[in-house]
């Protein structure tokens, strides 16, 4: 039996995280999911200490292994739909705060949600949800960098193929447009969803700290994430549209 290096431990952690996310998407109850993840992680650690590969435990197809286990755990679709709440809460808060800032500081009476902003919101939401599944490749591509490079390459190649097939997208096209009264409604709805999400996080967190501390931490994390995303959205929108304008002038 040997002591494991950091590299192997991170491989094990990524694989067990991928399985846990898969089980979450399949609708396995939180308590069972946590137990399954711990059980798998402990088995993987012990097997690795005995010199066995990850494949010895989960087989050549870790996704098939995760699915086989999920099938025996009575999954329920309604449980996986709970994942919609954080996505909706973040998206609505980002949109409503951006709108609010624009109403306050820009001389416009209405706000427009562009295709680019919607794409950024949806793709980052899906990315957060599905990226941990890349851990299924931990047995074949051992480093996180390697897996990130593979995913990036797939994305770039996909974009190039779409471009060469004649696909053109006007990112600045307006998807939705609204004025003050609707912004108020959006801000109120976003606040309600944010409260629900923070409450959900606080109730799921299993730490020794008090409920007020946990709630405060959840609120701070949520507000921080929304603020960071607002900045990313604003900066990248400006960068993309300025680059497009510049490209149009040059060519």
Site residues (CB under 8 A) for other proteins? 35-36, 38-40, 42-43, 46-47, 52, 56-59, 65, 68-69, 71-74
Half-sphere exposure of 65 toward its Cβ, with a 13 Å CA cutoff?
Answer: 19
What is the closest distance, in whole angstroms, from the C-beta atom of residue 80 to other proteins in the complex? 18
What is the closest distance, in whole angstroms, from the C-beta atom of residue 207 to other proteins in the complex? 14
- The region, left, alpha or beta by phi > 0 then psi within -120 to 50, assigned to residue 74 is left
What is the closest distance, in whole angstroms, from the C-beta atom of residue 204 to other proteins in the complex? 17
What is the closest distance, in whole angstroms, from the C-beta atom of residue 140 to other proteins in the complex? 15
Residue 65 or 111: the one with the smaller Cβ distance to other proteins is 65
Q: At what angle do helices 6-26 and 115-130 cross, to 10 degrees?
A: 110
What is the closest distance, in whole angstroms, from the C-beta atom of residue 137 to other proteins in the complex? 17
Residue 5 or 39: the one with the smaller Cβ distance to other proteins is 39
Phi then psi for residue 113, to 5 deg, are -95, 115
Residue 34 or 200: the one with the smaller Cβ distance to other proteins is 34
CB of 63 closer than 8 Å to CB of 76: no
Tokens of 49: 């200490």
Residue 46 or 203: the one with the smaller Cβ distance to other proteins is 46
Residue 49 or 231: the one with the smaller Cβ distance to other proteins is 49
What is the closest distance, in whole angstroms, from the C-beta atom of residue 65 to other proteins in the complex? 5
Decide: residue 47, CB within 10 A, 0-12 exposed, 13-18 middle, 19+ buried.
Answer: middle
Residue 193, strand partner residues: none
What is the closest distance, in whole angstroms, from the C-beta atom of residue 47 to other proteins in the complex? 7
Whole-number Å distance between alpha carbons of 121 and 100: 17
CB of 94 closer than 8 Å to CB of 165: no
Whole-number Å distance between alpha carbons of 147 and 128: 15
Residue 39 or 239: the one with the smaller Cβ distance to other proteins is 39
Residue 56 or 209: the one with the smaller Cβ distance to other proteins is 56
Give SS3 for 113. Answer: strand
CB of 74 closer than 8 Å to CB of 26: no
**DSSP of 47-86:** HHHTT--HHHHH-S-HHHHHHHHHHTT---HHHHGGGHHH
């Amino acid at each position: 039996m040997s002591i494991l290096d950091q590299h192997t431990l991170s491989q094990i952690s990524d694989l067990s995280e991928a399985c846990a996310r898969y089980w979450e998407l399949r609708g396995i109850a939180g308590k069972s999911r946590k137990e399954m993840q711990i059980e798998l992680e402990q088995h993987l650690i012990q097997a690795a200490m005995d010199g066995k590969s990850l494949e010895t435990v989960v087989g050549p197809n870790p996704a098939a292994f995760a699915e086989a286990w999920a099938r025996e755990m009575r999954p329920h679709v309604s449980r996986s739909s709970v994942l919609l709440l954080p996505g909706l809460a973040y998206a609505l808060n980002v949109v409503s705060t951006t709108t609010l800032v624009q109403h306050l500081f820009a001389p416009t009476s209405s706000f427009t949600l562009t295709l680019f902003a919607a794409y950024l919101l949806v793709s980052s939401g899906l990315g957060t949800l599905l990226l941990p599944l890349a851990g299924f490749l931990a047995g074949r591509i051992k480093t996180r960098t390697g897996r990130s490079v593979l995913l990036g390459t797939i994305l770039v190649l996909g974009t190039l193929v779409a471009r060469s097939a004649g696909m053109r997208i006007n990112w600045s096209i307006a998807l939705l447009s609204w004025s003050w009264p609707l912004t108020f409604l959006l801000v109120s709805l976003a606040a309600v969803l944010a409260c629900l999400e923070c409450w959900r996080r606080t109730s799921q967190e299993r730490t020794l700290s008090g409920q007020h501390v946990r709630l405060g931490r959840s609120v701070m994390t949520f507000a921080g994430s929304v603020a960071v995303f607002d900045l990313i959205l604003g900066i990248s929108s400006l960068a993309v549209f300025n680059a497009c304008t510049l490209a149009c002038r040059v060519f």
